[in-house]
Amino acid sequence: GAVVSQHPSRVICKSGTSVKIECRSLDFQATTMFWYRQFPKQSLMLMATSNEGSKATYEQGVEKDKFLINHASLTLSTLTVTSAHPEDSSFYICSANPTVQETQYFGPGTRLLVL
Amino acid sequence: QQQVKQSPQSLIVQKGGIPIINCAYENTAFDYFPWYQQFPGKGPALLIAIRPDVSEKKEGRFTISFNKSAKQFSLHIMDSQPGDSATYFCAASRREYGNKLVFGAGTILRVKS
């Protein structure tokens, strides 16, 4: 149980285009989902907290107009990187909390490369 | 005060050895302490977690020791195997903070066969 999926697993795009990443909780409902960014050999950096049916809460220094987050249902959150640039290339990981649990379960990650 | 300090940065042990990874925190409001294992190119996977009312928890070959007064907790891997070679992250959270995880910097473990 407690499986989180992400799609796509890997994406290459041209500079200036937008990329959407989906995060789904497959066997549980998640009131809260989180989006992280991870650079090579570094820890996870929280970008934003996504609550179903409400606006996402962004961490300090994260551009909300660049990283659009939508949490339309209890099993799906999406992250859209708008007008991507090479510096946005990174490993993006989502996680989800089953309702009334503190445990976060992570997705497999999405590798984004912006050319 | 929101930091979790993790050490060592990297660790090499022989197969069968017991690697120990340590973490320290400042915020006594944290009430949940999980450990995650991450392989290259994959998302972190929950290994084991503990709450501050318990001093030790075992799950299989993994043991967490928790010292509330010292604000420290550690992960021990018994009978380590080459397949345990991965990066390990400790973390801390509090329900009232929305269960947001504060991660340690990570420890790269290599188990030599």
| pLDDT per position as a tens digit, B28-73 | 999 999 999 999 999 999 999 999 999 999 999 999 999 999 999 9
Rounded CA separation A72/A75 (Å): 8
Query: Which chain A residues are closer than 8 Å to B99 by Cβ?
Result: 32, 97, 102, 104
Query: Which chain B residues are closer than 8 Å to A6 by Cβ?
Result: 43
Q: E strands of B55-106, at which residues?
A: 56-59, 62-67, 72-77, 86-92, 102-103
Q: What is the pLDDT of residues A4-40, one digit of tens each?
A: 999 999 999 999 999 999 999 999 999 899 999 999 9
pLDDT surpasses 90 at A100: no
Residue A13 has what pLDDT? Answer: 96
Rounded CA separation A75/B69 (Å): 39
**Residue-averaged pLDDT of chain B:** 95
Residue B1 has what pLDDT? Answer: 61
pLDDT surpasses 90 at B99: no
Q: What is the pLDDT of residues A57-87, one digit of tens each?
A: 999 999 999 999 999 899 999 999 999 999 9
Q: How many CA atoms lie within 13 A of B95 on its CB side?
A: 7
Q: Please tell me if residue B40 touches chain A, with a CB cutoff of 8 Å.
A: no
Say if the Cβ atoms of A102 and B44 lie within 8 Å. Answer: no
Q: Which 3 state secondary structure label does DSSP give A61? A: coil
Closest chain B residue to A49, measured at CA: B100
